[in-house]
Amino acid sequence: MLCRLAWPGRSGAKLVAPLGCLVSRQKHTLPDLPYDYGALEPHINAEIMQLHHSKHHAAYVNNLNVAEEKYKEALAKGDVTAQVSLQPALKFNGGGHINHTIFWTNLSPNGGGEPKGELMEAIKRDFGSFANFKEKLTAVSVGVQGSGWGWLGYNKEQGRLQIAACANQDPLQGTTGLIPLLGIDVWEHAYYLQYKNVRPDYLKAIWNVINWENVSSRYASCKK
C-alpha cells in the first residue's frame, strides 16, 4: 500500500511506505475517461464502457479505500494478523484500480493502425514484426483462463519488450516486474454485453481503438 504525503519545502508529493500512512492518506478517486462512453463504438459499445467505468472500476476504487483504511487501523493497533488478512483485498482492488487506469488511456476513438518510431522498432526487434506481436498478444489474451489481462510490458533489466498474462486483477509490475505499456482487459464485463462469450471477436475489435500514442509515450518514459 502506498500513499501520498506532502513534504515541507518540496513542491511535489512523495510516495512512501505503509507506515507513513498513519500520518496522512489521500483517498483514491475514479479517474475521468478522456472520451465519451460511446466514443469507441462500434468496437466497444457505450453500455459496456459506462458499466465498466462507472460501476466496475468505481467498485475497485471504493473497496481499495476501505481496505486501506482497515489496514491503517491494523497498523496502528500492531495487529499483524489483520494486516496479513487484508493483503488479498489490497492486491485485488489495488490491481483493479491500477490496471483500469492504464486501460482507459490505452484506448482512443482515434486509435488503431500501427505504432511508429522507437516503439515500432522495438516491436520488430523483439517480435520480428508487428503482425507477429499482434498475433502473440492476442493469443496470450485469448488463452487467459477465467478472468485476467493480456499485457505488453517492458523489461528494464533486459532492455526489451515482453508479453505476459496476469490472472484476475494482478498488477503487471507488482507481480512480474515488467513495466506496463499496453493492457487488454479480458474479464467478461469488458465485452460480454456486445460479444457474448466470444472473446476472440472482442480481441479482434479492440485493436481498432488502441492508442499507440499513449503506448509509445509509456515506452519512452520507462526507458529514461
Binding residues for Mn(2+), as ranges, are: 52, 100, 185, 189
Calpha distance 208→113 (Å, rounded): 7
Which of 65, 99, 68, 96 has the alpha carbon at shortest distance from 82? 68
In the block, residue with C-alpha cell 508479453 = 163
Binding-site sequence positions: 52, 100, 185, 189
Which of 222, 37, 36, 220 has the alpha carbon at shortest distance from 115? 220
Q: What are phi and psi of 198, to 5 degrees?
A: -95, 80
Contact assessment for residue 22 and residue 76, using Cβ atoms and an 8 Å cutoff = yes
For residue 138, what is its C-alpha cell?
492476442
